[in-house]
Structure 1
Amino acid sequence: MPGTLSKASARTRDRAKSRLKRENALAHALLHPFRTVPLAFLATIIVGAGLLMLPISRTDAGSDVLMPALFTAVSAVCVTGLITVDTATFWTPSDRP
């Protein structure tokens, strides 16, 4: 009986080690400098597009806003200055709705 218990605990310990090794490999892969910069750009674009899609961020709440918000966020993060909608009339200033 004691041998069976130790085999089960060894299997559990091995599973925990392999799970930890996979988690460390994933964290290492995501934190590699060549992946960190694009992931930071992607995260900033997603957050910016999400903020621009909020009803308080635009003047016309009923309009389709996914593509203009995404394009504006990408353009702002990449500093291209391109726009698809007139910024002064489509988006509201942040201090007033």
Structure 2
Amino acid sequence: MSTVVGARKMAIAEGCIPGDRLYVDNVSPENAHVELTFCAEGEKPLGPFRVTVPAQRSRALDDVVAPDALSPDTFYAIAVVSDTTIVVHT
């Protein structure tokens, strides 16, 4: 039996703030090329920011965006798109 875990497109809509740590788990046997776009009410989207997560590895994405790019008092939703199956969590 085979069980697929993860997705190629997802959104983190729970109101992330700068300083929250975002993790990507690449559950596939191929490198994952991931794009992150940060969205906040009343502001232009920031991104996409691109990162590669090695095959069958996890990566904390706290270094993808420059620290001054996101307002510390703003809640952000994050759109995540990958070319292979990943799991994203905070």
If the length of structure 2 is used for normalisation, what is the TM-score? Answer: 0.28
Which one has the bigger helix percentage?
Answer: 1
Which structure would you say has the larger Rg? 1
Which one has the bigger strand percentage?
Answer: 2
| Greater RCO, 1 or 2 (C-alpha within 8 Å, sep 6+) | 2
If the length of structure 1 is used for normalisation, what is the TM-score? Answer: 0.27
